[in-house]
Amino acid sequence: MGLTDKIFKPAVFELETNSDGNVDTVKGDCLYRLVTGGFELIYKEEGCETRVKLTAENVEFERKGELSYKMLILPQQTTSTVMNTAYGKMELSVKGEDMLYMPMQHGFDAVFRYSLMNGSGGSTHMTIALRVKYNRQK
């Protein structure tokens, strides 16, 4: 059984999203806390708040704003989610692939992979790479 922090602490982060080869990177300040087997992270960008929680069992990825959703990513399992966009709701299946959490002395790295599938058979492969540095080290 691991230790869970009760309060969030400041840090800096870099999150790289690879969506079928299209790469987008977000960097900035965040709040984090360590939880059993992983971490919970909150950051804001472009009017949205995003929360990522990774444990030994799963990844929870939640975004609130113009584009809103809450995904549960389970390795080798399929879950469902609804994305709320400016154009309406979109129901998607989320097929988890794998996840890796690498704690380090001054932060941690995490990588998780999954596929998003829509009802008409379309699919997008996603890889999320996250690096967090404690004590606001840039």
What's the pLDDT at 72?
A: 96
- Across residues 76-104, what is the average pLDDT? 94
Distance (Å, whole) CA 30 – CA 26: 11
Tabulate helix, strand, coil % of the chain (nearest 5): 0, 75, 25
pLDDT value for 56: 83
The pLDDT of residue 136 is: 53
Residue 77 reports pLDDT greater than 80: yes
> What integer is the mean pLDDT of 2-22?
87
pLDDT band for position 6 (cuts 50, 70, 90): confident
- Which residues have CB under 8 Å from 22's CB, separation 6+? none
Neighbours of 39 (CB within 10 A): 21
Collapsing DSSP to helix, strand or coil, 21 comes out as: coil
pTM above 0.85, yes or no: yes
**More reliable by pLDDT, 2 or 14:** 14
Structure confidence at residue 137 (pLDDT): 45
Q: What CA–CA distance (Å, rounded) separates 28 from 20? A: 24
CATH of 9-134, one of 1.10.730.10, 2.60.40.2700, 3.40.50.1970, 2.40.128.20: 2.40.128.20
Q: How high is the pLDDT of residue 5?
A: 66
**Tens digit of pLDDT for each residue in 29-76?**
999 998 888 899 999 998 899 999 998 889 999 999 999 999 999 999
Give the DSSP per-residue string, 33-88.
Answer: EEETTEEEEEEEETTEEEEEEE-SS-EEEEEESSSBEEEEE-TT-EEEEEEEETTE
Banded model confidence at residue 2, pLDDT cuts 50, 70, 90: very low
